[in-house]
């Protein structure tokens, strides 16, 4: 007689991949939003509609280095008959717009981004002028620090300009009161550019989830140390921490925990303070030393906090044994993955990554999938009633080829794969050339 | 008369986008490799072929929770006629292989990952046995801590097992002496899994480049502060720092620097200690206050270190004025981008991102491009002789639609774009429906 199932669903009920995933996604809720400094909000999801407080640009300004002029003064100007204007001063970017006034017959030297001074109606680029040097068209201005006298004197303009030429109008980018970004926008560099441009130093977003990753198993030794008889290196905590980061989380790697229920329980308890999600590997199967199961499945006791973790068998290969539930006073979600490296990695991709992205409030929580033509030397077999995920390499030509075998301990093959071939539950054999579903691990 | 060109190429020579990029990529060299802890090496490029020091798995071990048996003892076993065996003890994962011996008529309870004990030839899963309880097939074992007595006594086995059944052979994943990963491999989670699994605590990789980003302009105010007359918010330093991170760099944002050559020079000098690459925005055009140009273009002076920065005009829109060169005693590469937000962002994508990825030693330094069908209400125009990059949204149906106009100050449109339409130098007009090249900003 096996251990009694703590839930009506029963320990022997076989869950489908979709049922398990659905249960996780129905349970895990996006994190509460917080106000973050703009650089810290990169990759996060905005939870507010951001309105524009002040028009962009905030004032009419020059799009060129040149001279601010009145249209009538340069009408008909040509190289043969240039318009000669008095230069009344410089307008640099950052200068107030009302420091200068351009009257009839006058011009102000103006820099890109500087406000159009009162009286001026257009900008003529410096290349259309003699730059005040009286020696024909120039290709630029001399640095003010080297030639301050060029901010005065005369300038010859060789071409006419229409009203508003080379002037960027106030509000031509966005207007005060416009909606800059919608709630739900993911903040990449261009969105951060816009938020900064409209003066937002902080924004309200869902933060990156903090994910604590721990592997369990008395056989585990940290890489770099000496391997004793019967021992292997801990790879899961390294791989899944990296994968959690890759998914957008702030990930904390806890070293391997030995197969002792009390130690595991207290380690998890210690970690809860920095966890929005806990991921364990190993100890979830039917063995006598499956400590994660032992430590977490006895729920409903009055002295236990959290909603409890349910251990299931999934109709899936690799990754049959899985645990999911919550722990601690804040009901922190916990996913207990199997311990074989390939099983834990595939389980991460299928269940933990979507959970992390749900915590972030992202809409798009799944890896992209595509269909491809199977390239293989012989037919692939798959156990009936299980959804199988085979490590594979996907070619740009729309083909996919399995790497290594189905064994869930084959880490080397995993490291050379970039995709997973999905073999549905009702398919027991796939011939070369078959059209298959592929998860792109990109 | 304009400022004398400091280089034979001449300030008025128009560089093509490809010539400028080629110059950058021919100059920037991958960073020197360093030995990093495995978690710190995520996303980095391996510079060594990594060999397998010890076979994986390091010993024959069980792939199931069950009983280690001799084949002859379970031959012909069935539910009607089970094989009854003496249980000589438990083999847990992490236990040494030589602690138990399975003799004729004997079995050892064994856990997934535990070493196959001497004498045993196969493993029967616990589900094929009565679990030592004498009451028919079971679905699992009871936790050892709850039922230590189950490690002894008798077990009934209901099915035969072939030699090596449910045994993972030593070296079946990788063998000692095999090459685990090739130099040049980018380390993602699965590669980190393999490196940890073979015991590598550190690896030799090219580190992430440290990129210092500074914007220049006396008109710039930090977001969150009060905007004065003629002032705008600094967005470039935020956007490009985020973009540098996105490209794989460790990015440091220096606030906006005022338009003063001495201040800029000393700020850059101060930052060099943490810079593998310096990116500036603004101050590169032909204006009288173009401080980046003024501060960095006078090279060849005996008291100046570094190879100097060359300022160029590119046959490109946006992004015509660009600077590239090196500064300081270590000849740290510096890219001086134009100050308009869209110009600086597009320039970053085209020139800085490939430079960062070259520093990382990546092969694939460019954004992916594709071709798409132009969707637009009217024909797009483009200046002759310039390669134009228009902000656009790319649809999964293979169409691309411009967002906003060509103005290089249109940040809002940039924030709603996911791609750039490339209009070649010799094309002045593109009709709706035209087949166009698209850079995916992903």
Q: What is the DSSP string of A87-120?
A: EEEEE-TTS-GGG-B--TTEEEEE-TTPBPPBT-
Which residue in A140, A160, A112 sits closest to B407, CA to CA?
A: A112
pLDDT at A150: 72
Residue A340: CB partners within 8 Å, gap ≥ 6?
A318, A408, A409, B112, B113
pLDDT at A11: 55
| CA triple A121-A124-A125, angle to 5 deg | 145
Residue B250 touches partner A, C-beta closer than 8 Å: no
Instruction: Give the confidence band of A145 by pLDDT, cuts at 50, 70, 90.
Output: confident
Q: For the segment A10-49, what is each residue's pLDDT rounded down to a tens digit?
A: 556 899 999 999 999 999 999 999 999 999 999 999 999 9
**C-alpha separations of A202 from A195, A246, B214 in Å:** 9, 24, 20
Mean pLDDT, rounded, of chain A: 91
Residue B432 touches partner A, C-beta closer than 8 Å: no
Write the residue in A139, A202, A293 that is nearest to B286 by C-beta: A139
Residue B135 touches partner A, C-beta closer than 8 Å: yes
pLDDT at A148: 73
Mean pLDDT in residue range A286-292? 84
Q: How many CB atoms lie within 10 A of CB A270?
A: 12
Residue A143 touches partner B, C-beta closer than 8 Å: yes
Kindly report whether the peptide bond that precedes residue B372 is cis, defined as omega within 30 degrees of 0: no
pLDDT at B300: 47
Is A343 a residue whose pLDDT tops 60? yes
Minimal CA separation from B180 to chain A, in Å: 7
Minimum CA–CA partner of B199 in chain A: A223
Share of chain A above pLDDT 90, in %: 80
DSSP 8-state code for residue A379 = -
Minimum CA–CA partner of A57 in chain B: B232
State ipTM. 0.91
Q: How many CB atoms lie within 10 A of CB B427?
A: 16
pLDDT at A331: 93
Q: How far apart are CA A170 and CA A439, in angstroms?
A: 48
Q: How many CB pairs under 8 A join A and B?
A: 387
CATH architecture of residue range(s) B61-168: Beta Complex (2.170)
Minimum CA–CA partner of B417 in chain A: A190
The DSSP string of B347-378 is: HIIIIIHHHHHHHTT-S--SPPEEEEEE--SS
Write the residue in B93, B201, B239 that is nearest to A222 by C-beta: B201
Q: How far apart are CA B369 and CA B389, in angstroms?
A: 13
> What number of helices (H) and strands (E) belong to chain B?
9, 29
Domain A34-57+175-206 falls under CATH 3.40.190.180: no
Helix spans in B297-410 (H): 341-347, 353-359
Is A303 a residue whose pLDDT tops 60? no
Contact (CB<8Å) A197/B261: no
pLDDT at A306: 60
Helix spans in A312-433 (H): 341-347, 353-359, 411-415
Write the residue in B127, B135, B242 that is nearest to A192 by C-beta: B242
Which residue in A245, A225, A223, A236 sits closest to A414, CA to CA?
A: A236
Phi and psi dihedrals of B209, rounded to 5? Answer: -70, 145
Contact (CB<8Å) B288/A151: yes
pLDDT at A284: 86
- What is the homologous superfamily of the domain B14-31+208-359 according to CATH? MoaB/Mog-like domain (3.40.980.10)
Minimal CA separation from B196 to chain A, in Å: 5
Q: How far apart are CA A165 and CA A97, in angstroms?
A: 18
Paired tokens of A236? 């899961």
Is-contact A310 A9, C-beta < 8 A? Answer: yes
pLDDT at B410: 84
Q: For the segment B290-304, what is each residue's pLDDT rounded down to a tens digit?
A: 889 888 876 545 455
Q: Which residues of chain B have pLDDT under 70?
A: 1-12, 298-306, 408
Residues 78-97 of B with CB under 8 A from A: 90, 92-97
- What is the homologous superfamily of the domain B369-440 according to CATH? MoeA, C-terminal, domain IV (2.40.340.10)
One fold for A14-31+208-359 and A61-168: no
Residues 368-397 of B with CB under 8 A from A: none
Write the residue in A39, A131, A290 that is nearest to B238 by C-beta: A39
Is A243 a residue whose pLDDT tops 80? yes
Is A1 a residue whose pLDDT tops 70? no
Is A2 a residue whose pLDDT tops 50? no
Give which of B14, B37, B288 to mutate to test A binding, by max A Cβ within 10 Å: B288
Mean pLDDT, rounded, of chain B: 91
Residue B298 touches partner A, C-beta closer than 8 Å: no
Q: Where are the domains of chain B?
A: 14-31+208-359, 46-56+176-206, 61-168, 369-440
First-to-last CA distance in chain B? Answer: 45
Q: Is A169 helix (H, G, I), strand (E, B) or coil?
A: coil
| CA triple B382-B386-B387, angle to 5 deg | 85
Residue B253 touches partner A, C-beta closer than 8 Å: yes
Residue A40 touches partner B, C-beta closer than 8 Å: no
């Amino acid at each position: 007689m096996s251990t009694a199932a703590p839930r009506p669903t029963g320990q022997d009920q076989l869950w489908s991949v979709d049922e398990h995933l659905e249960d996780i996604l129905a349970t895990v809720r996006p994190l509460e939003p917080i106000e973050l400094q703009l650089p810290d909000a990169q990759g996060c999801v905005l939870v507010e509609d951001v309105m524009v407080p002040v028009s962009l640009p905030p004032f009419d300004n020059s799009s060129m280095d040149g001279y601010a002029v009145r249209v009538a003064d340069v009408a008909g100007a040509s190289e043969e008959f240039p318009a000669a204007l008095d230069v009344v001063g410089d307008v640099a970017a950052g200068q107030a717009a009302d420091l200068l006034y351009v009257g009839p017959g006058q011009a102000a030297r103006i820099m890109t981004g500087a406000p159009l001074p009162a009286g001026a109606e257009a900008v003529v680029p410096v290349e259309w002028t003699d730059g005040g040097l009286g020696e024909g068209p120039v290709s630029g201005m001399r640095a003010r620090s080297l030639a301050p006298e060029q901010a005065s004197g005369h300038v010859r303009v060789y071409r006419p300009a229409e009203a508003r030429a080379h002037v960027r109008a106030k509000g031509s980018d966005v207007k005060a009161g416009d909606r800059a970004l919608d709630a739900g926008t993911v903040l990449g560099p261009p969105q951060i550019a816009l938020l900064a441009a409209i003066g937002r130093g902080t924004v309200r977003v869902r933060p990156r989830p903090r994910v604590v990753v721990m592997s369990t198993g008395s056989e585990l030794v940290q890489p770099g140390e000496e391997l004793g008889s019967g021992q292997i290196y801990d790879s899961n905590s390294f791989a899944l921490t990296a994968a959690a980061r890759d998914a957008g989380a702030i990930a904390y790697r806890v070293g391997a925990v030995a197969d002792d229920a009390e130690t595991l329980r207290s380690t998890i308890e210690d970690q809860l303070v920095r966890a929005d999600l806990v991921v364990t590997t190993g100890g979830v199967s039917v063995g006598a030393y499956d400590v994660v199961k032992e430590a977490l499945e006895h729920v409903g006791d009055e002295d236990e906090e959290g909603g409890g973790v349910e251990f299931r068998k999934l109709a899936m290969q690799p990754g049959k044994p899985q645990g999911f539930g919550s722990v601690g006073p804040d009901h922190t979600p916990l996913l207990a993955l199997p311990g074989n490296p390939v099983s834990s990695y595939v389980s991460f991709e299928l269940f933990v990554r979507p959970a992390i992205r749900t915590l972030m409030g992202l809409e798009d929580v799944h890896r992209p999938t595509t269909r491809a033509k199977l390239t293989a030397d012989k037919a692939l077999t798959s156990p009936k009633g299980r959804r199988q995920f085979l490590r594979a390499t996907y070619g740009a030509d729309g083909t996919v080829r399995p790497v290594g075998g189905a064994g869930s301990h084959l880490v080397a093959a995993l490291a050379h794969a970039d995709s997973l071939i999905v073999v549905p539950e009702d398919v027991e054999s796939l011939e070369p050339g078959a059209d298959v579903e592929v998860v792109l691990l990109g």
